[in-house]
Every structure is written in structure tokens, then in C-alpha cells.
Structure 1
Amino acid sequence: MPVAVVEFCLGGAAAACAVLFTNPLEVVKTRFQLQGELKAWGTYQRHYRNVFHAFYTIGRYDGLLALQAGLPPALVYTAIQNGTRLGTYQVLVDMGLTKNLAGENSLPRTICAAGAGGYVGALISSPLFLIKTQLQSQSHEVIAVGHQHTHSGWLQGLKRIYVEGGIKGLWRGVHAQTVRNVIGSASQLTAFVLTRDFLTEKEIFVPSSLYIPITSSMVASAAIVVFVTPVDVISIRIYNQGVDARTGRGLYYRGLWDCALKIWRREGPVGFYKGWSASWFRFAPQTILILSFWNIMQNGYYRHFGKKQTSYVSNQTKPP
């Protein structure tokens, strides 16, 4: 099997394994980011006060199964998005495009390669993120936040969106999502690589220790929460908004910058970090699981088939 195909499959499999554990946190994060939409702090009812209260509230009114809302599209979306993202990044690394003229790994080139992987992954998987978000926001009217869609399932939902808006409707909000993934992928993978190289170079852990990818993943998760949360809030808002039946335009936002401006004016800077704690609880374990699973799967595959590992995690990234 071609190495490129292997890398795409390994990245997708690692992500699918991770999402089985983190999807309930994604549901909670989505509800937090829609709570108090376009309303100033303190002027709306807070159905979800913190992560643990959100779990209790959703379980009470929507049922425990609601904590896994949108799981099927989440699995497919995560496998495609991360498989494409990590696979594209690894292929660029294997082609030597992250190295400078001296043959050393370049930090700017690594960031660009990670961002490129994130862009391609977001572009391909956007319809799945759309239906996943809308399913995860559906709730009992007592605790409803954001626009409430009435999908009975993810396939029915995708069909309905296509019938009402065509191909363009399926890719509504893709601009916000690509920006989100470029920033998220660049910050996540770069932080992971730099931390892992530092731990390896300083011999803080033995070379084969699982503490290396786990510790590196924890640092990467902190980076992604800081840098991607504002754009994540914007993406969730755009993907979940209702659509005018006559014009096909969003009811609240015309696009990324219009959404950002309205959040700034009506909710203030704090609006961009709504649900940051839920984002941390979601991004931290998912980052750790995806990158750790990916590292383990790569090592296992190349060791089993007797091929030299060309994983990005073995590269040392230095400034140009």
C-alpha cells in the first residue's frame, strides 16, 4: 500500500478512536457556544453553568443518549477531516517541504504544512461538520440554545439541507471552518512537534516512553484552546444559524467577519471565549488521544511491516 494512503488511513483511524470518548464534550461545548447568542453577559438565562452542570442538565432533559448526539456524522467527519489533515501534513513532511536549505526542519514551513493540512481537511469535511453541529444543538425546549433544527437523523438532515440549498447549502460556513482548521492545525501540530523535540533532545523521558507524546499532546491542547476557540465560536454560530427559505441566506450572519463583528459589539470580547472550559475539556483529551493514537499506530504499522518510520514526530523542528 502506498505510504501516502497509509498515512491518511492512520490519521483517520486515530481520530475516529478519539471521538468515541470526546463526543459528549463536543455536545457540551456546542451548547455553551450557542448560549446567550448575540446577548450581553447577564441578560440571558444560563441553562448551562459549567461543564458538569451541563452534563447533568442534558442528561436530565434530553436523556443520557443525547450526550452522544451527532455521533455518526462526528465519526465520519473526524475520520475524514483528521485523516486528510494529518495525512496531508505527513506527506508534506516526507517530501521534505518542511526543511530549509540546510536540511533542518523549518518552524515557518512546519506551521504552513500543518495549516495546509487543516485547510484541506476542513474543505472536504465541511458538510459533515454542518450536520453534526445542528444535531448536537437540538434539545428539549426548556434548555434550548441557538437555532433549533428538526432533523430526525444525519442522513435525512444532509438530504434536507441539499434539497433546500443545493451544493452551496452543504458547504455553508466553509470559510469560517477552513480558517478555524488552519489556525487549529497549525497551533496544535507545531506545539506538539516543538514540545516533543524538546523532551527528546533534553532526554527528560526515555526515547520510547509514552509520556513523550502524551506530554506533547497536553501542551498542544493548551495551544489549540487559546488560538482556535474564538474562531470555533464563530464557526459553530454560522453552521447552526437558521436559513431564510426565500433567499437561502443565514438569518443572523452573512459570513465570518460579520459574525465576528456582531459578537464583538453585542457580547464583547468574552463572547469569543464562551465555553472555553468546555473547549479545554474537549480539546485536551481529543488532542492527546488523536496524536497519541496516531503515534502508536504509525510505530506499530512501520514496525510490523518492517518499513522505516517517517513520522513527523521523529523530526526535530528548528527555526530557519
Structure 2
Amino acid sequence: MARFSTYETLKKHLSNPDGSLPFYRMAFAGVIAGAVGGVAGTPADIVLVRLQNDGSLPVEQRRNYKNAFDGVFRIAREDGVQGLFKGAVPNVSRAMLMTAAQLCSYDAFKDLLLGSGYFKEGLPLHFSASFLAGFVATTITSPFDVVKTRIMNAGPGSPYKNLLQALVLIAKEEGPLALYKGWTPSFVRMAPQTILTFIFLEQFRNIYWDRTAKANKVRYE
């Protein structure tokens, strides 16, 4: 909600008087919206990563969070409030890239498909544009997903000092392709999420504009 509302608001403010929006302004709106969403979602993301990875740790190293809320409270109590934002830099960086890639590529693919003459406004257009946007977003954010997960899950003595150092270290020790480990399951997750998100978003937009048009018509009459 944070990134979509920020993105749509910035698009309105950055649009030209005729309603058009250059791609670089669209990308800027996506980057800022991603940063807002990344900050808002980091605490929950840390708990998610740790809950998923807990079973792979030795018994004595497991955190054993009872649920997501218990995880948030325990991190704040044991590590301080700053502990809730561990890995915020790679998480926000990833969110900035993902939002710019996902939202901007969706709008760009939508315009491209409409211009091809083979599509018109409707479900096939929304499905196709969102599927392509999911592919782009997964590919661009995969290295940051790998780094984010390792930093968030690392305990004391972590070899990862910051985002850039972690990217270089992983690529150097494990090869560049290590930054794309898990691309397929990420795409399997990202594609349906992207498709459903934009399909529902377009339906909500249609409902909103229909109601707005009807309300304006009644008011003017």
C-alpha cells in the first residue's frame, strides 16, 4: 500500500499538463515509492526471513519465534529498535529497484502492447503486461534478494559489511551466477503476485473512475 499510493501520487504531480508522463519521471516515481515501501516493510521482512530459515539452523541457534508478532517484539527487545531495520539498506535498495522495474515496466509494456494494435484495454492486456513486468522485476532484483536474505539472517561475526561489499564478496567467492540463485522460485512467486496485483488494481481503478464520473454527473446536473 505504501509503494502503490506513493507511486500513484507522484505520477499525478510529475505528469505534464496534457497528462503524459515521460519514462524518466515514471522511473523516478517508482524509485521513491520503492524506498518508502522498503522502509515500511523491513521489520516484517526480517521476521519472514528468520522464520523461513530457522529450521535449517542447529537447534541451539534457532530463534523459535512463536509467530510474526512475537518475532517483531523479541527483535525489538533483544536487539533494540534498530534491530528491526537490520539489512534496511539492501532491502530498501531492492525495493527501489523492484518497484521501479515492476510498476514502470508494467506501464511501459501496457503502452507498448496497446500501440501494437493487437490489444485493447481489458484483461488480456493487463495479464500480458503484468507477466512481462514480473519477469523484468525478478531479474533485476534477484541479486539484491540474495544479499538481503544473507544479511538479515546473519548472526554475530557476519562477513557482510554492507550492500556493495556483500555483492562483490558473493560474486568473487561463488561466481556471478550465485547472485541469481533462486531466480526460478522467485519468478514463480513474483509472476502470479504481479499479475494478480495489477489485474485487481486495474479493476479498482475502473470502479473508482466509474463512481467518480457518476458522482460528478449527478453533481453537475
2:10 matched residue in structure 1: 92
**1:304 partnered with 2:211:** yes
1:279 matched residue in structure 2: 186
1:239 matched residue in structure 2: 152
TM value normalised by structure 2: 0.88
**Secondary structure class of the residue paired with 2:159:** coil
Residues 136/290 of structure 1: CA separation in 2 closer, same or farther (3 Å cut)? same
Aligned-pair distance for 1:307? Answer: 6.4
Aligned-pair distance for 1:149? Answer: 3.2
Aligned-pair distance for 1:201? Answer: 2.7
**1:220 partnered with 2:133:** yes
Percent identity, aligned pairs only?
29
**1:184–1:227 Cα contact (<8 Å) kept:** yes
Task: Output the amino acid matched with 1:164.
Answer: E
**Secondary structure class of the residue paired with 2:80:** helix
**Secondary structure class of the residue paired with 1:205:** coil
2:177 matched residue in structure 1: 270
In the alignment, the residues of structure 2 paired with residue 116 and residue 90 of structure 1 have an alpha-carbon distance, to the nearest angstrom, of 11
**2:11–2:21 Cα contact (<8 Å) kept:** no
Residues 140/123 of structure 1: CA separation in 2 closer, same or farther (3 Å cut)? closer
Task: Output the amino acid matched with 1:121.
Answer: G
Task: Output the amino acid matched with 1:88.
Answer: T
Which of 124, 130, 133 aligns to 2:40? It is: 124
Residues 303/140 of structure 1: CA separation in 2 closer, same or farther (3 Å cut)? same
**Secondary structure class of the residue paired with 2:138:** helix
Which of 12, 21, 25 aligns to 1:105? It is: 21
Aligned-pair distance for 1:255? Answer: 2.0
Aligned-pair distance for 1:126? Answer: 0.9
Residues 177/140 of structure 1: CA separation in 2 closer, same or farther (3 Å cut)? closer
1:195 matched residue in structure 2: 109
2:219 matched residue in structure 1: none
Residues 288/230 of structure 1: CA separation in 2 closer, same or farther (3 Å cut)? same
**1:157 partnered with 2:71:** yes
**1:98–1:113 Cα contact (<8 Å) kept:** no
Unaligned runs of 5+ in 2: 216-221
In the alignment, the residues of structure 2 paired with residue 260 and residue 306 of structure 1 have an alpha-carbon distance, to the nearest angstrom, of 50
Unaligned runs of 5+ in 1: 1-82, 245-249, 309-320
Aligned-pair distance for 1:148? Answer: 4.5
Q: Please list, as runs of the form range in 1=range in 2, the aligned pairs for 1:132-171 lying within 5 A after superposition.
A: 132-139=48-55, 148-171=62-85
Residues 140/169 of structure 1: CA separation in 2 closer, same or farther (3 Å cut)? closer
Task: Output the amino acid matched with 2:137.
Answer: I
1:15 matched residue in structure 2: none
- Structure having the higher helix fraction is 2
Query: What is the number of residues matched between the two proteins?
Result: 213
Residues 258/156 of structure 1: CA separation in 2 closer, same or farther (3 Å cut)? same
In the alignment, the residues of structure 2 paired with residue 305 and residue 137 of structure 1 have an alpha-carbon distance, to the nearest angstrom, of 47
What whole-Å deviation, never above 9, does each CA across 1:196-240 have from its counterpart, x for those lacking one?
112223331233x20111100011011112111011111111111
Query: Which of the pair has the greater relative contact order for Cα pairs under 8 Å at 6+ separation?
Result: 1
2:200 matched residue in structure 1: 293
**Secondary structure class of the residue paired with 2:30:** helix
What whole-Å deviation, never above 9, does each CA across 1:161-206 have from its counterpart, x for those lacking one?
1112111111111011111011111111121111111222333123
In the alignment, the residues of structure 2 paired with residue 148 and residue 263 of structure 1 have an alpha-carbon distance, to the nearest angstrom, of 24
In the alignment, the residues of structure 2 paired with residue 215 and residue 288 of structure 1 have an alpha-carbon distance, to the nearest angstrom, of 8
2:164 matched residue in structure 1: 257
Aligned-pair distance for 1:105? Answer: 1.6
**1:133–1:236 Cα contact (<8 Å) kept:** yes
Q: 261-270 or 283-292: which moved more?
A: 261-270
In the alignment, the residues of structure 2 paired with residue 228 and residue 180 of structure 1 have an alpha-carbon distance, to the nearest angstrom, of 6
In the alignment, the residues of structure 2 paired with residue 226 and residue 307 of structure 1 have an alpha-carbon distance, to the nearest angstrom, of 42
**Secondary structure class of the residue paired with 2:158:** coil
**2:91–2:148 Cα contact (<8 Å) kept:** yes
RMSD value over aligned CA atoms?
2.1
